Structure 1
Amino acid sequence: MRIYLVGGAVRDELLGRPVKDRDYVVFEADEESFKKRFPQAKKVGNKIPVFILRDAQYTLSRFKNIEEDLEYRDLTINSLARDETGKLIAHPLALADLKQKILRPISRENFYADPLRVFRVGRFAAIFKDFTLHPSLKPILKELGQRPDLLQKISPERVGQEFLKALAGEKPSRFLQVLDECACFVPWFEELACASKIPAGPKPHHNESLLEHLGQVMDKLSGDALLVWMGLAHDLGKTITPRSNWPRHLNHDKLGETLAKNLATRLKLPKKFVFAGQIAARWHMVGGLYDQLRPGTKVDLLNKLGSSDMIKYFFTLVRADNELDFLPRAQKDWQKIKSVHLPPNFHYNGPKAGEMLRMLQAQRLVPRT
């Protein structure tokens, strides 16, 4: 049995980056012999035998040797392996491309063998903000962009996982940029298919396209995948504004709530992302006017956010979108309304109890003279 550490772990080690995921390929072993050596390993793959052991993934390779295995990977910078002695095995161009910061495809056929690699390229562009796409890569992506039938066959969980990793990247806007330039938004990100042709808003507030605006907000929020997702979701409603209304986008906040939910659900994102995307789309306009809101509206917004954690996320988004920082004020208001309690005689009055609590909370936010 021969075991090799492969792909991203070796790449990140060579780049001096933290190694997060460890993937191994195994040769000269079947499932029985592997389980005998590693009895605690749990099988998770069906078509190809894949096992999980102590947060690492082991794949029983279908290739003859490690050199052949590396030839079937996506990019040269991922075509790397170390054997159990630490010896490095690399694609002939891998080390040079790492040094020169190039995302180069190994072959066109490899992308057709697994079209998910379209979204992996977007993910790597977001993670490695200084890397450039090799001239041979875009034509391959554009070809696949013309084959939504192939992209549609990818499982939503796989696309969603690549998307989440891109959201955690150093420059998440590059994920959108790659998919836009190669026309690969359909079918998984169909809401954004025309975003680069839609004005973000009227001048002088906006001089950029909607896609550029979303990317700018996402990059301001980089470092937290949930925040970056909220940055993408907040203006999704603008993608369905009738052309005749451009550059204005009336009711885009209300319209965007459903679009954000649809996109998150399609990609099987965690429930927290579904909720956060809807909140970002529906309430960001209200949040940007926080100092002008009536006390009752503030109560409704803060209770809708539902926790101090989401209040922090939401108002961080508002600041990234329009450079207004209402977070300290909102946090103080949240503490005030949390301290309000119903009188005992209202505890069992059904809807009237809710109305009374809202009134008391609103009164608590009225400035005292």
Structure 2
Amino acid sequence: MRTYIVGGAVRDELLGRPSADRDYVVVGATPEAMRAAGFRPVGKDFPVFLHPQTHEEYALARTERKSGHGYHGFTFHASPDVTLEQDLARRDLTINAMARGEDGGLVDPFGGRRDLEAKILRHVGPAFAEDPVRILRLARFAARFDDFTVAPETLVLMRGIVDCGEVDHLVAERVWQELAKGLSEAKPSRMFEVLRDCGALARLLPEVEALFGVPQRADYHPEIDAGVHTMMVIDQSARHGFALPVRFAALTHDLGKATTPADILPRHLGHEQRSATLVEALCARLRVPNDCRDLALIMARHHGAVHRAAELRPATVVELFEKTDALRRPERFRQLLDACLCDFTGRLGWENRPYASPQRLLTALAAVDAVPAGEIAAACSERGSIPERIRAARIEAVRLALQDARD
């Protein structure tokens, strides 16, 4: 019975990076022996156990065989005669197929250390093609290690997985899980670059794929291409370290530009509502969590108004607060402003331009929040006029606050 640290912990140690998780593989053991040693079984598909003291996961060495479509289409075999090399052979990338023994020795049968030094993402073997989620995982690693390149033979294999339709069998929850992780990496645009290169983006996120090649006005978007702009926006969200809902809103805010009628290009009149319609469909298909979906919808509908904050009348500012539920959800409204900052600076040559809209709108929101709605309601003799009176007071508060800000 021999225990090895495997996968990401070994990779990150060799890279000098901190690693949050430590995964262990146990060779030469049975489930009965693990339980006798005090380990608690938790695995459903294959034998995984929690250490009695540290509660870290220990998995029995195993092999796997393709038995159906998609992520769940595998049969696993775990027994004392499965070797460490057989276990490592089923892993996705060479840089994730290394192990370190209890004596500290490195086990690297597939050249993972060499590929780390060369900064290459390379599949371990032909079994890579059996699991379509590995395309997403590799693309996610490209976003984390953004100076790594994909091995040419691996890209060919990925294109074959796409062409045979295997990615169409991925379950929505797993696509979202990998997408969310990729958006949370240091350079999320690299994930989408890899997915485009192998053809998977058009199958998994056709709404995003459709943005590439769509022209925009050069005076507002020197980068011209709507897809390039979207990639710059999500990289800005990573640059600022914003939360996942902001990053997802950055990704989806302009989806409607792909459906702009050709005769009005490069203008995109009315793209906000078209974007919201596409966001709703995408979120339903991938079962996107509510916090990400809700912010993405608000961003799609209202980012234009936020950008024009300096031109808005006080009544229109109050209307914006009403439509975004800013008084009841001020933190989400701040996330909207964060996403708009990414949209503004995610343009060629605009990366460090000052952006005044957030502070202007936060000043106005504070003024609206300070309006004593309860006192106004109590002073009204006609109950039906209460909303109108409160709204008028809020508009006046915005007018005065913005006037003071200008002065």
TM-score by length of 2: 0.81
Deviations 1:344-365 (A, max 9, x none): 5737998854444333222210
- Paired with 2:5 and 2:385, the residues of 1 have a C-alpha distance of 63
Deviations 1:119-166 (A, max 9, x none): 111101111111111111211121122233x11222222221111111
Q: How many residues align?
A: 364
1:174 aligns with 2:207: no
In the superposition, relative to structure 1, how do residues 25 and 342 fare at CA in structure 2: closer, same or farther (>3 Å)? same
- Selected match of 1:252 from 259, 271, 283: 271
SS of structure 2 residue aligned to 1:185: helix
Residues 65-74 or 281-290, more deviating:
65-74
- Paired with 1:32 and 1:271, the residues of 2 have a C-alpha distance of 43
1:99 aligns with 2:114: no
One-letter identity of the residue aligned with 1:60: L
Equivalences for residues 24-39 of structure 1 within 5 A: 24-38=24-38
Residue 125 of structure 1 is matched in structure 2 by: 142
Deviations 1:274-310 (A, max 9, x none): 1111111111111100111122322232341533322
1:319–1:325 CA contact under 8 A, matched in 2: no
1:147 aligns with 2:164: yes
The alpha-carbon deviation at position 248 of structure 1 amounts to 2.1
In the superposition, relative to structure 1, how do residues 16 and 55 fare at CA in structure 2: closer, same or farther (>3 Å)? farther
SS of structure 2 residue aligned to 1:141: helix
Deviations 1:213-240 (A, max 9, x none): 1001111111333322221111111122
In the superposition, relative to structure 1, how do residues 65 and 128 fare at CA in structure 2: closer, same or farther (>3 Å)? same
The alpha-carbon deviation at position 258 of structure 1 amounts to 2.5
TM-score by length of 1: 0.89
One-letter identity of the residue aligned with 1:111: F
The alpha-carbon deviation at position 340 of structure 1 amounts to 1.7
SS of structure 1 residue aligned to 2:200: coil
SS of structure 2 residue aligned to 1:4: strand
SS of structure 2 residue aligned to 1:5: strand
Residue 95 of structure 2 is matched in structure 1 by: 77
Mark the structure with the bigger radius of gyration: 2
One-letter identity of the residue aligned with 2:220: H
One-letter identity of the residue aligned with 1:330: L
Equivalences for residues 114-263 of structure 1 within 5 A: 114-148=131-165, 150-199=166-215, 201-206=216-221, 207-222=223-238, 223-224=241-242, 225-263=244-282
1:358 aligns with 2:376: no
- Paired with 1:77 and 1:18, the residues of 2 have a C-alpha distance of 16
Residue 317 of structure 1 is matched in structure 2 by: 339
SS of structure 2 residue aligned to 1:286: helix
Deviations 1:188-209 (A, max 9, x none): 212123322222x122333432
- Selected match of 1:273 from 275, 278, 292: 292
Equivalences for residues 292-303 of structure 1 within 5 A: 292-303=311-322
- Paired with 1:55 and 1:212, the residues of 2 have a C-alpha distance of 44
In the superposition, relative to structure 1, how do residues 88 and 168 fare at CA in structure 2: closer, same or farther (>3 Å)? same
Unaligned runs of 5+ in 2: 64-81, 346-354
SS of structure 2 residue aligned to 1:136: helix
In the superposition, relative to structure 1, how do residues 95 and 350 fare at CA in structure 2: closer, same or farther (>3 Å)? farther
Percent identity (aligned): 33
- Paired with 1:262 and 1:68, the residues of 2 have a C-alpha distance of 42
In the superposition, relative to structure 1, how do residues 287 and 82 fare at CA in structure 2: closer, same or farther (>3 Å)? same
2:120–2:151 CA contact under 8 A, matched in 1: yes
- Paired with 1:239 and 1:281, the residues of 2 have a C-alpha distance of 13
In the superposition, relative to structure 1, how do residues 61 and 328 fare at CA in structure 2: closer, same or farther (>3 Å)? same
1:311–1:330 CA contact under 8 A, matched in 2: no
- Paired with 1:80 and 1:170, the residues of 2 have a C-alpha distance of 24
In the superposition, relative to structure 1, how do residues 52 and 217 fare at CA in structure 2: closer, same or farther (>3 Å)? farther
- Paired with 2:334 and 2:99, the residues of 1 have a C-alpha distance of 42
